[in-house]
Structure 1
Amino acid sequence: MDKPKVVLGVSGGIAAYKACELLRRLSESGHDVRVVPTASALHFVGETTWAALSGNPASTEVWESVHEVPHVRIGQGADLVVVAPCTADMLAKAAHGLADDLLTNTLLTARCPVIFAPAMHTEMWEHPATQENVTTLRHRGAIVIEPAVGRLTGVDTGKGRFPDPAEIFEVCRRVLARGPEAVTADLVGRHVVVSAGGTREPLDPVRYLGNRSSGKQGYALARTAVARGARVTLVTGETGLPDPAGVDVVHIGTAVQLREAVLKAAADADAVVMAAAVADFRPAHYAPGKIKKRDDVEQPPIELVRNPDILAEISAERARPGQIVVGFAAETDDVLANGRQKLARKGCDLLVVNEVGEHKTFGSAENEAVVLAADGTETPVPHGPKEALADTVWDLVAERFS
């Protein structure tokens, strides 16, 4: 089989050296990568490095190998174009259709999915001109990954940091996996909120009540939503997983904190997907010191109180007209019967029902489920990667948007 052809555009920012890691991941995972740097990018990483790592020539000029018409052929033959890092200057050129070098010509001739991974100082990212350029590109179907928050060039910190190359690779992988459908980013212009992981209800300074949720399904939902063009807010418990590229991440601990964060983020959201494993109960009393085990005293039982039902609350009180709410039901027996009852009780639009247990779903990279809809339809999702289930969920959400 032919290897998927990826064009890696590199523009002139200090983060250009990090693109080498993205190139390595793309090449080692079986992609045929052609690096097209700008002249400014070569001030940071030389042409020889790009050629050696990719196994293909790297050029900035339309005047080299003219008989091959590179300014047209490279874009025409690509399955994916990703510009990483993408400077403010490159965003502006792409938005306005300029074509003054090989990379900008390639962007104009590409008919495949295009991903931009911006990296710049906070002031440049937040400038109205840059934001208008981003909006324009997204409106045309391009995927513009939100930059990360962190250390920038020099002593500055803020939003504008180049996302983790491993996470950009995951976005590329998901876009390529969707095939021709990815050319149309069907969640562009949508804000979606995803909850993930398990909550922890503290009992004393040492102990808490928790569950086995790994957060992998919620993170898969966030990553696939980014790959389909959405602006994503991820509200997550402790998972140990790296923050997905292009996602605004809110870290929480308890169910009460999760409720506050979800309600805040859902205020302008088009869809809310509650994939988190939220504790139904919490200890009625928190012990300020570690509860000691004593042989001469019988310990009283731990009294529990109910946590708020976040899914039912956001389903009953939609923050905006047309908002889609998706719930998850982890069941151990009578899976579908319990799922149908929960769907009616919670009032959400979709409910993803799966069977869980010590060796099922939790912590696994794979899942199997049935998506129940309020209109009575049922969509089975066979055993497979959690990204596949995530794409099915977004397919059903996108149908309801339209």
Structure 2
Amino acid sequence: MMFSNCVSNNLLKLFIALSAFHAINCAQSPKLEVICAPKTIANEGTQANLECTYTVPNDVKVKGVTYDHNGQTVYTYQVGSEPIVTDDEFQGRLSRYGSEQTASIRIEQLRGSDAGTWRCNIITDKFTMAFDETVLEVNVMPSINSIFRQPEGELEVGSSVTLTCEVDAQDSSPTISFFQKKEEFGKGTERFASQKPTFTINSVSISDAGEWYCLAENSVGSSQSSKLQLIVKHIPFAVSQNPRQFNASLGTNARLDCQFETYPALKRSTWYQRETTAFGRVNWLPVESLSLISPNSLESSEGSSSSSYSGGGGRFKEGVAGADTAVLHIRAVEAGDLGVYKCSADNGVGKGECEVRLEEGEEIIPNTSKRTSDKSVSSSPSHGFTLTLTLISLLRTCELFW
């Protein structure tokens, strides 16, 4: 009985000692585990480091490392061999870095398509495996697919229109802005910031006509759309606000004209001469009334229309030259023809008015160019400038006599 108790006590002591040894050994031997950074964020065109480390038990050796991108194996590394990139999209861009105890990889020249879930797999010589995942976010430069508007077609003054900038961006929404080019008035551009990819003009005006663009910006860069042309139909309005003066000698022919900003093109013009009564009352007497005269009925801004002379004893002929110029020809100017004339131009949307003055004297070549910018134009040497004016004057005189 005493021998039996002794053996039991010894077995118990041995069991306790083995348990303690096993506990100490297990505490010193790590378990098989992979730990990756939860998320990595980088900009397109830069590089991203996917940080992953691992631990293995003392009696286990790492045989290799693989990486999966969105479920597809793209990288394989076996101890003692060169890494293999199995996806052509990552050739020359994906490599391992860090110590042997890490399984970190580096992706260079980042693309938007590199984003997604990356899984690091550790394979051991015991045919066991452990893994962990990390998420890669790639901030890409926004790309504009198109800029369009609703409604389509030509716009009426006072109507509304909405511009939409269709952006393709794989990160958070970029900042959108819309701008209009106004170089013809020397104003450069005007920008309108918007937190949404739309911009609404609630009451369209003439100044809204022209080229529109949208711009998408984020931390990576910016992208500009192609142009969107807004066409606004409006009544004609005179380019020159003050009455322009034309000179003509009595007995010669005269040509008066008014230029308009207009869309669509002028369809017809009606001219009136101002008459002041003895009581100071002002009357406007029509020199003639004609139906539609096509802009093509005049060969050019200096050409002649196919209409015949009428009014004032058959000495007046009115018409339209080009798309934006109303013209009045007067044959054999008389003293009663001198004074102020008013032109009423119609483009189908509405009418606009312009006044000019005819005085007796040597003909003046008026400057009929439209406003383009605030820049001045330098002239050539005086003798060349005088010669040019003389030639123009001769050509104008010939034209007046047809």
- The TM-score range, normalised by the shorter chain, is under 0.3
TM-score, normalization by structure 1: 0.22
- Name the structure where strand makes up a greater proportion of residues: 2
Q: Which has the higher helix share?
A: 1
